[in-house]
Amino acid sequence: MSYKTDLPVMLPVKPRALEPFKSLKKRHILLIAFLTIVGPSLVFAQTGEFEKSPLAILLDWTPLLLSGFLFNLVISFGAMALGTFVGGLLGLGQVSLFAPTRASSWLVTQFFRNAPWLVLLFFAMFLLPFELNIFGFKLPLPDWFKAILGLSLPVMANVSEIVRGAVRSLPSGQWEAAESLAYTRRQTLWLIILPQCVKRMLPPWMNLYSILTMATVLASIVGVSEVMTLTGRALAAEGGRTDLLAPFYGLVLVLFFIYCYPIARFTVWLEHKFSVIN
């Protein structure tokens, strides 16, 4: 005979709260900025009178790099929107009662989840044509659009998993109550299950967005003109000086940090807010 223990044998794993400082953000940015940009710039500051210091050169290029970064954000929005839409459908397919739908959705999800993001990006870049012929109308597919399509594939798979996880995490009592009220399956899903799932899906979805934003730099490997390619070109234009490497790459790090760290903090706050209600 096996017993359920009277007392928990181990505590449930609680999501960790970050140490609560208000000024953490500024401190970190200052620290990183110092380490990566100002530090090496100062170290190499003993250049000749006619040469500009690395920091000055970096500041010259900053507007261009910022525009590149904005392009990264555009790619991230595009891929997130597309991936969420298709992934949502796929996730619903995974909870379908119709076995072939369920099996094929599951298979597609697993297939694209297990693939590295860079490989999927290559996949999209190389295998999609450079222009589409629709009813005789030529639609050019620029590089960045193909990058959006490529990056939306892993997003789709992850969103599908998030949706499936959220739907399954709801107590079965919800389904039973709806059934006893004579709701059809579709009504149950749309009116009862999914509204409750939105809360649970939000933190992992935001986390996914953060990961996606950081993955947009992969597009530089396949030739899309975003912040990393521009950085590479800027460095080449400056003559490939080794003392510029740290400041320039440091700037890119700082840009992403400034964008992604608040998202991370917001996500943690969301998690705590929703776990209290649940």
Partner 1 sequence: MTWSATSDPMVSIKNVYKSFGSLDVLNGVTLDVMKGDVICIIGPSGSGKSTLIRCINALNDIQSGSILVEGLEVNDPNLDKLELRKKVGMVFQQYNLFPHKTALQNIMMAPVRVLKQNKKTSEAAALELLKKVRLEGKENAYPGELSGGQQQRVAIARSLAMQPDVILFDEVTAALDPETVGEVLQTIKELAEDGMTCILVTHEMAFAREVADHIYFTDRGIIVEHGPPETFFKDAKDPRTREFLSQIL
Partner 2 sequence: MDFIFEWFRTLYSETGVNLPFIYDEYDRKRMAEGLLTTIWLSLICLFFSIIIGVIGAWLQGSSLKWTRRIVNGYIQLFRNTPPLVQLYFFYFAIGTLLPRVENDWGGTSPMLGSFAWAAISLSFFAGAFNVEIFRSGIEAVPKSTVEAAEALGFSRLQIYRDITLPLAFRVVIPAMNNNLVNLVKTTTLAYAIAVPEMLYEANQIWSDNVNVTEMMIFLLLAYFVLVGVLVAGMNKWERAMKIPGFG
Q: Which residues sit at the interface with partner 2, rule CB under 8 A?
A: 2-3, 5, 8-16, 18-19, 24, 27-28, 31-32, 36, 40, 110-111, 114-120, 122-123, 126-127, 210, 214-218, 220-221, 228, 242, 245-246, 249-250, 252-253, 256-257, 260-261, 264
The reply to whether 10 sits near partner 1 by the rule CB under 8 A is: yes
Q: Strand ranges (DSSP E) for 71-198?
A: 131-134, 137-140
- Give the integer Cα–Cα distance in Å for 78 and 263: 18
The reply to whether 9 sits near partner 1 by the rule CB under 8 A is: yes
Closest CB 77 distance from partner 2, rounded Å: 17
* Residue 131 φ then ψ, to 5°: -155, 150
Closest CB 229 distance from partner 2, rounded Å: 12
Residue 210 contact, options partner 1, partner 2, none, Cβ 5-8 Å cut-off depending on partner type: partner 2
Specify the DSSP class assigned to residue 36.
Answer: I
Cβ within 8 Å of residue 140, ≥6 positions away:
130, 131
Nearest residue to 78 via CA among 128, 176, 151: 151
- Give the integer Cα–Cα distance in Å for 81 and 72: 14
The residue type found at 68 is: G
**113: region left, alpha or beta (phi > 0 left; psi from -120 to 50 alpha):** alpha
The reply to whether 13 sits near partner 1 by the rule CB under 8 A is: no
Specify the DSSP class assigned to residue 245.
Answer: H
Closest CB 62 distance from partner 2, rounded Å: 16
**19: region left, alpha or beta (phi > 0 left; psi from -120 to 50 alpha):** beta
- Give the integer Cα–Cα distance in Å for 90 and 26: 40
The reply to whether 3 sits near partner 1 by the rule CB under 8 A is: yes
Specify the DSSP class assigned to residue 133.
Answer: E
Is 7 or 277 the residue whose CB approaches partner 1 more closely? 7
Is 9 or 182 the residue whose CB approaches partner 1 more closely? 9
Residue 6 contact, options partner 2, partner 1, none, Cβ 5-8 Å cut-off depending on partner type: partner 1
Of the listed pieces 4-12, 101-109, 199-207, 257-265, which binds partner 1 according to CB under 8 A?
4-12
The reply to whether 11 sits near partner 1 by the rule CB under 8 A is: no
Residue 214 contact, options partner 2, partner 1, none, Cβ 5-8 Å cut-off depending on partner type: partner 2
The reply to whether 276 sits near partner 1 by the rule CB under 8 A is: no
Interacting residues with partner 1 (CB under 8 A): 2-3, 5-7, 9-10
